[in-house]
Structure 1
Amino acid sequence: MNGSWPAELADGDVLLRPIKLRDQRAWREVNRRNREWLRPWEATVPPAPPGHLAQRPTYRQMVRHLRSEAHAGRMLPFVIEYQGRLAGQLTVAGITWGSMCSAHVGYWVDEAVAGRGVMPTAVALATDHCFRHVGLHRIEVCIRPENGPSRRVVEKLGFREEGLRPRYLHIDGGWRDHMVFALTAEEVPEGLLTRWHQARRDTPRDTPKK
């Protein structure tokens, strides 16, 4: 992953950059405002075995873990900025080499900017970076079937639906089914961002939420 981290990726008003400890105040403020919007889709800690404590990490613990994983070549943790303000988070995780060369992408966005193309742009930027600079072959996104906004992101970008993974992740207090969507590098030789721009030119723009 030489040269792939840290990286800043930008397109118009959307910027992906490495998450930092000094983002704590803005990150907490966005999360506080979006607590109910994000709660049904947030990862949770399953009940711990007897004698073990299950605790969510603090912000500082989270960032240190993410950056340590990034420097070890296993993860690319970004915050999303929109028009210069922190508006979400995107993480390329589970980076696997050898005969697989694959990773999965997780993300969330501020409800205040949902519907403006921010998240499809962010996913397209990250996917192109993984294919062109990191050297990965496959990108996967796993989404709860009930999560309409996230499903629309991958549908707009042309990810293939590959099927259901029963009780795949612990989300909102329980083990939840997830749909699998994926792309390989050969499917987007022109780049996913180019495909996304073309799709936006060919269809009416999203209507920003008020």
Structure 2
Amino acid sequence: MSRLRTERLELRPLVSSDFAQWNEVRERCRDWLAKWEPRPPASAPDPSRDPQAFANRCRVRERERSLGTAFDFGLWHEGWFCGEINVSHVARGAFQSAHVGYWIDERLAGKGLVAEGLLAVFGFAFDQVGLHRVQVSIMPRNAASLRVVEKLGLRSEGIAQGYIQIAGVWEDHQRFGLTLEEWQARRDEMAARLRAARLGRASMPTDG
């Protein structure tokens, strides 16, 4: 099982015994997340409410990892589950590329945790999986998600029109790319950007 650690996070694949924590976060954040995610088939069991469906989801993800077609990471902050970062649609051959997606508990949004986790996942994708390129796709009106890639300074590749069906609507997405060469040249810079962002937040005055 692949495990990654950062200063504030542990990242590892979800297992069936994680259902209670996953269920609590997904249920509490259901309305907040639904507007950014593809709508599941109406006939499919909901893994956020059905322990067996969640266990099946974990088994599918385990098989994808064994085949090298996808890699999933749950995020734990201070011992509590708080989100996911997934490397999906891994293409080999001449492509050596993948898509990266993420979500986080609404209560922890804006604290830089996703960007911190992404940096670790990029290292995994390039240094362990051997990919040459990763892509992050974000709806242009999803300001919170855009701030994540802005913190890392990812390169924009423009707008893909009608790219993914979200909540029943074909939505445009802004695509961001990172290549192995960029990663090798910029990994220390991206880590420094995150440290600077955290220090900036820590120095801001608070009310009360």
TM category (shorter chain) comes to 0.7 to 0.9
Q: Does 2:18 match 1:23?
A: yes
User: Post-superposition shift, 1:31?
Assistant: 0.6
Aligned to 1:175: 170
Question: In the TM superposition, what is the alpha-carbon distance from 1:190 to its structure 2 partner?
Answer: 5.2
**Alignment correspondent of 2:73:** 78
Shift of 1:55: 2.6
1:45 touches 1:170 (CA, 8 Å); kept in 2? no
**Paired residue secondary structure (2:200):** coil
In the alignment, is residue 55 of structure 1 matched against residue 44 of structure 2?
Answer: yes
Task: Write the deviation string for residues 8-52 of structure 1: whole angstroms up to 9, x where unpaired.
Answer: 111112111011111111001001111122111111147xxxxxx
The answer to whether the 8 A contact 1:16-1:79 is kept is: yes
Q: What is the CA–CA distance in structure 1 between the aligned matches of 2:200 and 2:167, rounded to whole Å? A: 32
Give distance in 2, aligned partners of 1:188 and 1:138.
Answer: 9
8 A contact 1:117–1:206 mirrored in 2: no
1:80-122 deviations in whole A, cap 9, x for unaligned? 0111110001110011111111001011001111122100011
Give 2:191's aligned residue: 197
Determine which of 110, 117, 139 is the counterpart of 2:112.
Answer: 117
Task: Give the unaligned 5+ runs of structure 2.
Answer: 47-52
> Is 1:64 paired with 2:64?
no
TM-score when scaled to structure 1? 0.86
1:44–1:173 contact (8 Å) kept in structure 2? yes
User: Does 2:91 align with 1:102?
Assistant: no
Q: How does 1:128-207 map to 2 (within 5 A)?
A: 128-189=123-184, 192=187, 194-203=188-197, 204-206=199-201
Letter in 2 for 1:158: G
Give me the TM-score of the superposition, normalised by structure 2.
0.87
Of the two structures, which has the highest relative contact order with CA contacts closer than 8 Å and spacing of 6 or more? 1
Asked if residue 36 in structure 1 is aligned to residue 36 in structure 2, the reply is no
Q: Per the alignment, in what secondary structure is the counterpart of residue 205 of structure 1?
A: helix
Change (3 A) 1:94 1:19: same
The unaligned stretches of length 5 or more in structure 1 are 1-5, 47-52
